[in-house]
Amino acid sequence: MEADQAFQDRPRDWMQHSRLVGLVALVVGAGSGIGEESARVIAANGGKVVVADIRGDAANDVAAAIVAAGGDATSVSMDVANQADIDAAVARAIEAYGRLDIVVNAAAVVKGGPIETCDLADWTLSFRVNVEGAIMLARTCLPHLRGSPHASIVQIASLSGMGAYPNGGAYGTTKAALIALTKTMAMEWVKDGVRVNIVSPGTVETPLMRAVLTPEVVEQRAARIPMGRLGRPSELADTIVFLASPMASFITGQNLNCDGGLSQALMVQKFNPDL
Ligand SMILES: NC(=O)c1ccc[n+]([C@@H]2O[C@H](COP(=O)([O-])OP(=O)(O)OC[C@H]3O[C@@H](n4cnc5c(N)ncnc54)[C@H](O)[C@@H]3O)[C@@H](O)[C@H]2O)c1
């Protein structure tokens, strides 16, 4: 409990409130969970944030909370799978702040089902949002990012993009595609001075995770994580914002697992510090 309180009380301006001053970020899927926390951390470190989400009300609420906390944010309702919405969100960033430096894409749909029987329409939607949306978003932002000395894109994948995810094939397969896409973008756009990286969470305590997993499965998953607990959205946000920030200026094309050690636990059945 004491450790938990210390974690909650830790300063949020770990970049000393200066690293992101003058930079403008578009955070997509920022109405909740990991995207919301990323928007908050960017604002807490001096960045200006366009909070975008398909749920416009949620985006409004997050932007209002950032402003109430002394940060600078505006919100936009946006479906990452809709080119006109993306155009409008980028236009909002330019209109409100005159530039765009950082793009964080945390939007995703999670569609499951066994491969033998799953509905292929779910695969089409998953690829549309999780992969094509990422392409459309990144390349729409690119002309503006080219003008920034600190241009950076961070995508969010999942451990399911690297290992088997039985009954979650559509989701895991799109995340594998997103990892490959990110690496290709990074190499194609290195000449433009745009860094592109991706963070792969393990299991994180968010509304999305609670919606797709039963409490029993959550408990089983937590028991398999070497750190013995789920990730917190703010821990993912710190990782994402580090990669997005000038502090990661020599890092591009990387997939960073933020998972409490789960991806390295191949030989571990249950964490035992005495092993
Ligand atoms: N929570 C986990 O355990 C976990 C694990 C691995 C990967 N991830 C990934 O992390 C990212 C964030 O997930 P989260 O857990 O914070 O989920 P979340 O549901 O809390 O947040 C996702 C947000 O994206 C928005 N969104 C969904 N579809 C959208 C669209 N088409 N356009 C714009 N916004 C859209 C939702 O409204 C929501 O606010 C996702 O890419 C997810 O796949 C999460």
pLDDT of residue 274: 47
Name residue 242's amino acid.
Answer: F
Q: Which domains does the chain have, with CATH numbers?
A: 20-202+234-257 (3.40.50.720)
Mean pLDDT of the chain: 92
| C-beta atoms surrounding 88 within 10 Å | 15
Residue owning the nearest CA to atom 12 of ligand 1:
106
Q: Which residues of the chain have pLDDT under 70?
A: 1-3, 6-18, 268-275
pLDDT of residue 14: 59
Pocket test for ligand 1, best of 34, 62, 124, 258 (most atoms within 8 A of CB): 34
Alpha-carbon distance of 256 to 234, in angstroms, equals: 16
Q: What are the Cα distances from residue 97, in Å, to 43, 62, 92, 243?
A: 14, 18, 8, 22
Read off the tokens for 173. Answer: 């397969």
pLDDT of residue 7: 65
Judge whether 33 and 229 are in contact, CB under 8 Å: no
The pLDDT tens digits of the residues spanning 129-161 come to: 999 999 999 999 999 999 999 999 999 999 999
pLDDT of residue 275: 40
Q: Is 171 a catalytic residue?
A: yes
Alpha-carbon distance of 92 to 103, in angstroms, equals: 14
Residue owning the nearest CA to atom 25 of ligand 1:
29
Q: Is the CB of 108 under 6 A from ligand 1?
A: yes
Alpha-carbon distance of 22 to 18, in angstroms, equals: 9
| Distance in Å, CA 219 to ligand 1 centroid | 21
The pLDDT tens digits of the residues spanning 198-237 come to: 999 999 999 888 888 888 888 888 888 999 899 999 999 9
Read off the tokens for 78. Answer: 């946006």
Judge whether 23 and 98 are in contact, CB under 8 Å: no
| Backbone phi and psi for residue 133, each to the nearest 5 degrees, phi listed first | -60, -45
Judge whether 182 and 155 are in contact, CB under 8 Å: yes
Alpha-carbon Rg for the chain in angstroms? 18
* Atom number, ligand 1, closest to the C-alpha of residue 79: 32
Say which of 123, 165, 171, 189 is annotated catalytic.
Answer: 171
pTM for the whole structure: 0.93
